[in-house]
Structure 1
Amino acid sequence: MQLETYISDLLYRYDCVTVPGFGAFLTHRVSAKIHESSQTFYPPKKALAFNEQLQQNDGLLANYMAEVENIPYSTAVNKISKHVKSIKSYLVEGETIQFKNIGELVLNTDGKIQFHPSNQINFLTDAFGLSDFNSPNISREVFKETVEAVEETAPISLTPEKRSNRNWLNYAAAAVVVLGLGGIGAATYYSNTIENHNQLAQEQANDQLDTKVQEATFVISNPLPAATLSLEKQSGNFHIVAGAFRVAENSKKKVSQLRELGFKARTIGENRYGLHEVVYGSFETRAEAQRELNNIRRNHNRDAWILIKKLK
């Protein structure tokens, strides 16, 4: 069984993939960076880690395996369990487990699983097509010495220009006359603009008033009360599956039965095998779905599981 293939596929879509009874592979986003000494540019990526403490089955891996291999969910869980036992036996014997494109697993001196991630594949879909590359240093020409040499051979000197006071007085008088004429013209233009604007606004207001007067107005003394409809729309990508049915009528009967028991059951369409899926409810977060799943397995259906699916 190519367990690492299923884990690798799911790491592109999710930040946590749990292998029941073994541990969880976790990812977190790392920004793009530059290695200063080697001038190497690294694109953003998902960094991999492993947590041996997270072993509870969340249904993600088993459900994906069941869909790919076209087997029942319970069979997929049993296959994972057998494979995990085999991996643990190899680790106890001191062997290193290779998960292709994911990393290496080995037991340390304390008997804990130590994980060495692989850098062959970037699981961040936003960085698809990007790879590491080196950029040589940029050489810049320095012209400082050339400029200094030119300044020494051909210095630039600034000589103030002499002007007569009489010419300055003539220019000042002409400027005063021009400014005065400009101010009078600007004031006249501004006054005419304001007057035209006010006249246009008054005409528009009169037209609106005539229109409102001509419209018929009806007043109902005892209006009917407004009807308020309360429609509850479920949302969220975490669904607790109650079952899948080949016949659509059977899925509707199942929804009715679950609603009588107080669940917010509904159908979420057909899966890839043409079966009509019925869910107990949908939730916004994995934590909410997991709490409800625990309650359902305890009191109603031990075979219920979580489906992570974005509905259209």
Structure 2
Amino acid sequence: SNQLGHIICQQLREQPLVVLPGFGGFVKDAFGAKLDELRNRIHPPKNSVIFNSKLAHNDGLLLAAIASELEMTYSDADKWLTDAISEIRFSLNNGEMVSLDGLGQLKKSIEGSIEFTALELPLIQDEFFGLKPVSLVRVEKDNVDKVRELVAADGPVATKVRTLPIKRIASYAAAAIAVGFLMWMPIQNGALNNGKMLVHQLNPFAVTTESAYQSRQFDEAWLSKGFEKEDVLADKFNHEYLKLYLAKNTGNAIVVKTDAVPSEEVKLEVEAPTAEIVNEAASSFKVIAATFVSKSDAADYVAKMIKRGFSAEYAGQDSQGHMVAYGTYNSLEDAKKMLASVSLSNKEARIVSGN
């Protein structure tokens, strides 16, 4: 498991997911920077890993990595991987916990499902390497900034700002003289007796007020000032992962989705392909894997498939473009069996009649 964990980490640095055939897949999950208001720290972004037992189709990438890393043939790499997966299954079935270096730990739940606990920092942090948490120093804000913060956080808010003289110490020093002078003048002139002066006019500290009001809305500019924008539905989709893979210039899409709780809010609309009539009397049949705009792109795809250990061949051109086939079959029944085996991972695979 040490070597296997190391190879999986190497692959997750370059690929979004790594599949163990017949067992499950490890998916890279990115987290953005996080503000810890309690400790006044900003934690840098990081990559984590989640496990999905339904990702079991062999895409050949892990076999190629094992063959390269351990310097062995594809057949030997296939046997090595099969033995490693069997060993993991045996340990889990006996109630043991399996550790994968650099990734985390696997165990079997009471219900019989496989649970994965990732390390706090899996060894797939290439783009965030060296980033450390940053401590923040609280900055005192003036009155106007405090009002703006209240408006941004809670709005709508209406409040008043009390503004004192700029040189506060000097104004306090002059306060005693001002009070004596202001009290003395009305008495001398009899203003209090004839009603020509209001009592609040005796206040030596003039108060200037300004009103601030703003409707409740989020301004993207606040992000640069330390505020965070939070998706209130984030927890609901925290364990849901949806990704779409497209080969170069091909119309065939392979959709990979975890076994998270299905969500009505997340929908993938795919235009239904036009039904194609297969000539059942033909002498041969081809199961098409992908269709390309140009013949050179189709040839490149064939080369990649063969390099990964899969059978593939150029199948000519039809109204949809240049075709790449998994293989040619003498009977329609054999072609349908092949189509059924690949349709789980390639929803647009189809059968065409041979020449």
Give the structure-2-normalised TM-score: 0.45
Q: Mapping of 1:41-56 within 5 angstroms?
A: 41-56=42-57
Q: Deviations over 1:222-273 (max 9, x none)?
A: xxxxxxxx986539996633359xxxxxxxxxx9xx66x539xxxxxxxxxx
Q: 1:150 aligns with which of 145, 154, 170?
A: 170
Work out the number of aligned pairs and report it.
186
2:266 aligned residue: none
d(CA) in 1 for partners of 2:135 and 2:81?
46
Structure 1 residue 121 displacement after superposition: 3.4
1:62 aligned residue: 63
d(CA) in 1 for partners of 2:124 and 2:136?
28
Structure 1 position 40 matched with structure 2 position 41: yes
**8 Å contact 2:49–2:122 — kept in the other structure?**
no
Q: Aligned in 2, Cα 1:235/1:41: closer, same or farther, shift over 3 Å?
A: farther
Which residue identity lines up with residue 121 of structure 2 in the other structure? Answer: Q
SS in 1 for 2:92: helix
Which residue identity lines up with residue 61 of structure 1 in the other structure? Answer: L
SS in 1 for 2:297: coil
Q: Deviations over 1:61-80 (max 9, x none)?
A: 00111122222212211211
Structure 1 residue 35 displacement after superposition: 1.1
d(CA) in 2 for partners of 1:235 and 1:47?
35
Structure 1 residue 21 displacement after superposition: 1.5
Structure 1 position 240 matched with structure 2 position 284: no
Gaps of 5+ in 1: 158-229, 245-254, 264-281, 283-287, 303-312
Q: Aligned in 2, Cα 1:142/1:46: closer, same or farther, shift over 3 Å?
A: closer
Which residue identity lines up with residue 10 of structure 1 in the other structure? Answer: Q
**8 Å contact 1:21–1:81 — kept in the other structure?**
no
SS in 2 for 1:234: helix
**8 Å contact 2:43–2:134 — kept in the other structure?**
no
2:137 aligned residue: 137
Structure 1 position 30 matched with structure 2 position 31: yes
d(CA) in 1 for partners of 2:48 and 2:40?
21
Which residue identity lines up with residue 34 of structure 2 in the other structure? Answer: K
Q: Please identify, of 230-239 and 67-76, the stretch whose mean Cα deviation from structure 2 is larger.
A: 230-239
CA RMSD between the two structures:
3.9
Percent identity of the aligned residues? 23
Q: Aligned in 2, Cα 1:52/1:136: closer, same or farther, shift over 3 Å?
A: same
Which residue identity lines up with residue 137 of structure 2 in the other structure? Answer: N
d(CA) in 2 for partners of 1:66 and 1:297?
25
Which residue identity lines up with residue 108 of structure 1 in the other structure? Answer: S
d(CA) in 1 for partners of 2:103 and 2:30?
16
**8 Å contact 2:26–2:51 — kept in the other structure?**
yes
d(CA) in 2 for partners of 1:47 and 1:104?
13
d(CA) in 1 for partners of 2:30 and 2:54?
21
1:85 aligned residue: 86
Q: Aligned in 2, Cα 1:237/1:110: closer, same or farther, shift over 3 Å?
A: farther
2:288 aligned residue: none
Q: Aligned in 2, Cα 1:297/1:63: closer, same or farther, shift over 3 Å?
A: farther
Which residue identity lines up with residue 138 of structure 2 in the other structure? Answer: I
1:187 aligned residue: none
Which residue identity lines up with residue 135 of structure 1 in the other structure? Answer: S
Q: Aligned in 2, Cα 1:3/1:297: closer, same or farther, shift over 3 Å?
A: farther
d(CA) in 1 for partners of 2:48 and 2:138?
31
Q: Aligned in 2, Cα 1:297/1:18: closer, same or farther, shift over 3 Å?
A: farther
d(CA) in 2 for partners of 1:12 and 1:103?
16
Structure 1 residue 127 displacement after superposition: 1.4
d(CA) in 2 for partners of 1:121 and 1:236?
38
Structure 1 position 262 matched with structure 2 position 316: yes
2:121 aligned residue: 120
Q: Deviations over 1:134-161 (max 9, x none)?
A: 4153364989799444224347x9xxxx
1:97 aligned residue: 98
Structure having the larger proportion of residues in helix: 1
Please identify the structure whose Cα radius of gyration is greater: 1
d(CA) in 2 for partners of 1:63 and 1:111?
31
Q: Mapping of 1:186-201 within 5 angstroms?
A: none
**8 Å contact 1:107–1:114 — kept in the other structure?**
yes
Q: Aligned in 2, Cα 1:120/1:147: closer, same or farther, shift over 3 Å?
A: same
